[in-house]
Amino acid sequence: MTAPALIDHHTTAGYSLPMAYWLAQASDLAYKDEATIDAQARSWGFDEVRHHKTRFTPPFPLEDTQAYTAASDNMIITAFRGTEPKQIRDWLSDATTPPWPGPARTGYVHYGFAEALQSIFPGVKDTLAELRTGDQTVWFTGHSLGGALAMLAGARMYLEEPRLQADGVYTYGQPRTCDRMLAGAYNEGFTDRTFRFVNNNDIVPQLPPEPAFTHVEALKYIDSDGKLHDTMGLLGGLTDRAKGMTADPFAPASDGLRDHSIKRYIAALENNLT
């Protein structure tokens, strides 16, 4: 597929597999340095690129929060950067992490997500207000922590700044982000506009623990053979996860980290396209 395919899908309503593939590519790009992001985004047809970056000081467990916004005459993408699987796994496993009031005082979110997003949210909001000069569609995306921030940014815009709300949110390997109240409000506002991809045994979507935190709906599950499903029953899911764990008999426990790689998400989506 050629790069202009991303721009070709800017008016897509509802779920689009090509859009899922290209936004996974955009999520992967968020891990790169600014010069690489600028060059790649412009090769995709985006003539405006802005970077959002804030650094924290210890003891905050994540060293920094980063994202970029790329805009063309047709569409705007804000992609949030993720973090290393081990780092986010250790952090999200901490049961002492307090909740934080959700957008517009709707439910609660994970404290770390709320603080990380707040560090760049004013810049993201101002950038969208500046660059959305016409009828461009707006998309939020991200992998791992970036997926949680994309979902939460979508919720904040929807509940607090509706004129800037996203037309769609695609996330990959996203952890549980909020409580059931906020998830319910989000699901209502983003029906057929949000899609949460989980690759087989990816460890991060299993964290933080339930019942304090939950997932939003619209799951897209990638099984151990790389096939994409709109849903996966409990028994089928358990069987498939067991199959994935036995794929590498020498390191079955590492499957959850391997499956978290954004490269694996991209490869699976590309295979499903063909």
- Our answer to whether residue 202 is catalytic in this structure is yes
CA dist 24 and 139 (Å) reads 12
Catalytic residue among 202, 240, 255, 259: 202
Is-contact 42 68, C-beta < 8 A? Answer: no
Sheet holding 228-229, edge to edge: 48-55, 64-71, 75-80, 137-143, 168-172, 194-199, 219-222, 228-229
Catalytic residue among 27, 72, 144, 224: 144
Helix axes 145-160, 180-189, angle to 10 degrees: 70
Q: What is the 3-state secondary structure (H, E, C) of 37-96?
A: HHHHHHHCCCCEEEEEEEECCCCCCCCEEEEEEEECCCEEEEEECCCCHHHHHHHHCCCC
- Our answer to whether residue 16 is catalytic in this structure is no
Q: Which residues are marked as active site?
A: 144, 202
